[in-house]
Amino acid sequence: MKQTGLRFALTGISACALLTAACSWRMSDAAQAAVGTPNSIWVPNVSLPGATATPQLTQPTPEPTPEPTPEPTPTTVNVPVTWAETLTINGAQIAVSVRGTSASLPMLLVIHGGPGYAMTDLLHTRMPELENDFLVVDYDQRGAGLSYRSNLDPTTMTLAQFVEDADSVRQRVVNHFNLSDSTKVYVLGHSMGTMIGLDLVAKYPAHYAAYIGVGQVVQVVENEQQSYEFALSEARRTSNQTAIDALECVGYPSDNWEFSNPNLSGNPNCDTSADGFEVTNDWMGYFGGDVYGEHGSESVENLIYSIPVYKNVLAQWDAGLDFSQNLFSDPLIVTWDARTMHKNAVVPLYFFMGRHDYDTPAPLAEAYAAMVQGTHQLIWFENSAHFPFFEEPALFHTKLLEVHTRTTAAVNNFVKKKR
């Protein structure tokens, strides 16, 4: 499937978002209409292990009216759980999926990237054994994947709103399984989801045990510049004249996050209307910056498209990908900088980086991790680029368990000192 990048408008400029590699194709008006009705909500059927989950249409569960309630009794019964439902959260219909061998396992809240790169059940498909150790919570962000609705107000697509949505998903899962409000959750953000995740744990540190950033975003302008530098360097190293011409045609991305298309090579075939973000994304992926050893991220996308919750609603997934680019209308996206906003770790911070990642460039993340104050660790995946949970799933699982072990030991030591 051809990777064309993500489209968005920023200060009147049409460009391609590089915070995660994604494949976007145009659907027909008829297909768009088919997923546009707000009351036709596709979610997987709720089932227990051993039963077969089948698609069904269901009405969204309304947001509950807040009322005083006693502290719930924590769940202790170790029985397998599978829960999937579309919930009304902060005015949006959001598809949530929870899997684990017990509701008493530590909760792992997965925040996907994109924007709009929904991947519910990707971890379940790639490493189902993770559910023996964590209660894995997937959700498609507002406007993405199974949460896409044609009547969603695009002005609600802001980073601050996505942070509130994430914490609300955590609260709804805690309530659903009758867990204690003091339950601390692990946050796993991927690509652009790392921006949401860092903001989330900084705003609500009491709710979270630790943060795991996979493909950590540091600052989107510098992200773009290093992606371009990598692609052009590899093009020259391999004497790929097609790539050299295409990249020199669009030129180096400016500090204003724009491409000037200067046609530096003087190539008479240079397309001066080419989208610099798209060109950079394509060649960065071609040279292995998305999936190590591959010419793009098609293997990841093909897996996502084959997952049962998506394979019959690909038009909806695609429409959500397009719609989610409205997030780039939020000026905070361009000014957001982890180095100034999240220098001090309010919860333990773990950075899971593919050594060959140039979608969210590894050197940029490495420099950021080195300046963090407080409990933190940079963990390398030597045979991965942007998707270590896909590229090295067994090691990924092992490292997540190490994070949990370290976090639990730190809490226990703190409790002992308090006594």
CATH at residue 156: 3.40.50.1820
Q: What is the pLDDT of residue 412?
A: 61
> In terms of domains, do 268 and 304 share one?
no
> In terms of domains, do 250 and 143 share one?
no
What 3-state DSSP class applies to 164? helix
Q: What is the pLDDT of residue 266?
A: 72
> In terms of domains, do 37 and 144 share one?
yes
Taking only the tens place, the pLDDT of each residue in 346-356 is 999 999 999 99
Q: Which two tokens stand for residue 355?
A: 């050594």
Cis, bond preceding 38 (omega within 30 deg of 0) = no
Taking only the tens place, the pLDDT of each residue in 310-334 is 999 999 999 999 999 999 999 999 9
Task: Find the domain containing 184 and state its range.
Answer: 26-43+77-221+297-418
> In terms of domains, do 134 and 278 share one?
no
pLDDT category at 63 given cuts 50, 70, 90 is: low
Neighbours of 312 (CB within 10 A): 10
Q: What is the DSSP letter of 138?
A: E
In whole angstroms, what is the distance from residue 160 CA to residue 168 CA? 13
Q: Which two tokens stand for residue 370?
A: 């080195």
> In terms of domains, do 197 and 255 share one?
no
Q: What is the pLDDT of residue 273?
A: 84
Q: Let me know: does 98 contact 78? Beta carbons within 8 Å.
A: no
What's the number of domains the chain is made of? 2
Among the ranges given (76-90, 212-226, 339-353, 370-384), the one the predictor scored with the smallest mean pLDDT: 76-90
> In terms of domains, do 272 and 339 share one?
no
Q: Which residue has the higher pLDDT, 23 or 243?
A: 243
Q: What is the pLDDT of residue 413?
A: 59
Give one DSSP letter per residue of 74-121, joined into a string: PP-----EEEEEEEEETTEEEEEEEEES-TTSPEEEEE--TTT---TT
In whole angstroms, what is the distance from residue 190 CA to residue 218 CA? 12
> In terms of domains, do 266 and 350 share one?
no
> In terms of domains, do 246 and 393 share one?
no
Q: Which residue has the higher pLDDT, 210 or 268?
A: 210
Residue 160 located in a structural domain: yes
In whole angstroms, what is the distance from residue 44 CA to residue 53 CA? 6
pLDDT category at 79 given cuts 50, 70, 90 is: low
Is residue 205 pLDDT above 90, yes or no? Answer: yes
Q: What is the DSSP letter of 32?
A: H
Residue 18 located in a structural domain: no
Segment 97-111 shows an average pLDDT of: 97
User: What count of Cα atoms within 13 Å lies in the side-chain half-sphere of residue 388?
Assistant: 32
Residue 292 located in a structural domain: no
> In terms of domains, do 90 and 158 share one?
yes
